[in-house]
A and B are shown apart, each in its own frame.
Chain A
Amino acid sequence: MALSIGSVALDATSVARAFLGLGDETQRAIVRELRLPRAVAAFATGGALALAGALLQVLLKNPLADPYVLGVSGGAAVGALTAMLLGALAWMVPAGAFAGAVASTAIVFGLARGRGAWSPTRLLLTGIVVAAGWGAVVALILSLAPEAQLRGMLFWLIGDLSAPPAAWTPLVAVVLALVVAMSFARDFNALARGEALAASVGVDVARLPWLLFALSALLTAVAVTIAGAIGFVGLIIPQAIRLVLGNDQRVILPASALGGGVLLLIADTLARSVVAPNQLPVGVITAMIGVPLFLILLSRHHLR
């Protein structure tokens, strides 16, 4: 469906034909070179964000944690906006975002580790403070930026999938992260019940948090690199899954990845077709679909 809707509407047969390399050249180009990579990128971004959110909620033992709470998106934003401000080449913006995300993660990781003592509170606090610092730098860049660049910067900050730098690599990264996370899913279930109990039943409570941290930071970095700072998906999707399917990480992790992917795919399809040929930033649409959807879920189910 995401492949057929757009500025140029295509019916299912044309999509299938174009997909298989048949049909006229324009349709082939639209489907295989424009819409398919974009749909894959959207799915991967949503999956990465929701999976990162689910993992961070276990790490911080807080159902309100989201992928950006550790300052990853702030670092990415500073990297990307600096690249834009300096008038860098197009490919350097995502490169800047990725570098910023990784740098921010390293800072939070290093500071939170301190002298070996580790606690969710310390990590959360470090992340929030570092994120606040990035926020100030972003505001500084925005105020220095020439007017012509502001729109692009704003789109990046809201989340924009109009020019994904890669499609299949992020999807592979999400699938790999999911496989790794799933192999520890039962350990996560125990860890969510507190370190003491987890340690009693044989979970490696010293190392497992770092795996969670590394996986979620990597996923978030991938997501912000492709699409900028799309808020909300990482917080709401795992919550919605938990409301409907319960609290077993073996269900939550794959369902979150899938749910986040689907939400962003739908949102992106709408973002590029509602006011076609113009495009909306996808971050606006995810919130517009996600907020009412989540509120309906919340009112229907007893909060679990």
Chain B
Amino acid sequence: MTAMLAVRALAVEIAGIRVCDALDFSVAPGQCWAILGRNGAGKTTLLTTLAGLHKASSGTIELEGRALASFPPRELARFRGLLPQDDYDAFPATALETVLIGRHPHLSRWEWEGPEDLRVAREALAAVDMAGTEARDVRTLSGGERRRVALAVLLAQQPQLFLLDEPSSHLDLSHQVALLDRLITLARTERRAVVMALHDVNLAARYCDHVLLLDRGAAVAGPAAQLLTSERLSTLYGVSLRSLSDNGRSVFVT
């Protein structure tokens, strides 16, 4: 079976700093990957590279067997979607208008959003527990609510490959669990895939079957069961971590 995302011998740099060198991994439909690493390790840069928005120094990235660079921007946007780390509102806009931005790649140049796009957008808002806020100005939302709207934009975009940069930031515990549950279910049942940069190793341990560890230019990719060990994580973060077992699941504590 062709991998949804196949990365071979990938080298990525930003501002003269090496993020990874000769990185190989492939993401199959239904899988969920976490990118872990310290601040400045290059998690965001790697995600934007995978999204086709940052040029790799060398190596190949293929989406379903086709070179990433050969995708026109809109077609690419129907295949993969990226949740940016920060949400940006220079102008006023309602939550519904904001979510409709996700429909952009599905519409032709002169086309306006139709009833189907509105339905998708409303569903996406409901999926992030923001139903009823359609007419709210996004600038009046709380940080966590704004983050959920940003996730709704990505859901409305309906990509095959979800790339998320710290999806759980600003979210309260219940919404972290609810939204990651939803993403994982979506990936498993609809054969989509998730790659997300996370800071919480326990969220990674709970939700991700694979991980990518970025450690000062050296990147390791593999199954979570092999890589999420207290030794590796202690080295990665430079903090001593212990692993506790809770009903067969590992929980990491400092």
Contact = CB atoms under 8 A, between A and B. Distances in A.
Given A183-B110, A199-B82, A304-B137, A192 B90 contact: yes
A1 B29 CA distance: 66
Nearest to B92: A304
Contact of A202 (B85, B98, B104): B104
A237 B138 CA distance: 23
Contacts of B93: 193, 247
B98 A200 contact: no
B178 interface: no
A246 to B, nearest CB: 8
A202 B112 CA distance: 16
Contacts of B92: 242, 247, 303-304
B73 A200 contact: no
Interface string B200-220: 000000000000000000000
Nearest to B88: A194
A190 B110 contact: no
B86 A196 contact: yes
Interface in B88-120: 88-94, 97-98, 101-102, 104-105, 107, 109-110, 112
B90 A200 contact: no
**Number of chain A interface residues as a range:** 20 to 34
B88 A201 contact: no
A61 B88 CA distance: 10
A57 B89 CA distance: 13
A298 to B, nearest CB: 13
Interface in B176-192: none
B73 A203 contact: yes
Contact of A193 (B76, B88, B94): B88
A203 B102 CA distance: 11
A7 to B, nearest CB: 44
Interface in B24-76: 51, 53, 73-76
A187 B108 CA distance: 11
B167 interface: no
Given A200-B157, A304-B137, A190 B53 contact: no
B84 A200 contact: yes
B88 A200 contact: no
Contacts of B101: 189-190, 193, 197, 201
Contacts of A189: 101, 104
B83 to A, nearest CB: 8
A194 to B, nearest CB: 3
A248 B91 CA distance: 10
Given A200-B77, A201-B101, A203-B73, A63 B82 contact: no
A248 B97 contact: yes
A201 B77 contact: yes
Interface in A202-222: 202-204
A199 B97 contact: no
A196 B137 CA distance: 20
B112 A250 contact: yes
A200 B81 contact: yes
B228 interface: no
B4 interface: no
B149 to A, nearest CB: 11
A17 interface: no
B88 A202 contact: no
A62 interface: yes
Nearest to B93: A247
A201 B53 contact: no
B136 to A, nearest CB: 12
Contacts of B78: 202
A193 B98 contact: yes
Given A193-B93, A197-B153, A250-B112, A204 B73 contact: yes
A184 B77 CA distance: 17
A61, A63, A199 interface centre (most CB from chain B within 10 Å) = A199
Interface string A212-251: 0000000000000000000000000000001000111010
12 contacts: A186-B107, A192-B91, A193-B93, A196-B88, A197-B150, A200-B77, A201-B157, A202-B73, A242-B91, A247-B92, A248-B97, A304-B92
Interface of A: 57, 61-63, 183, 186-187, 189-190, 192-194, 196-197, 199-204, 242, 246-248, 250, 303-304
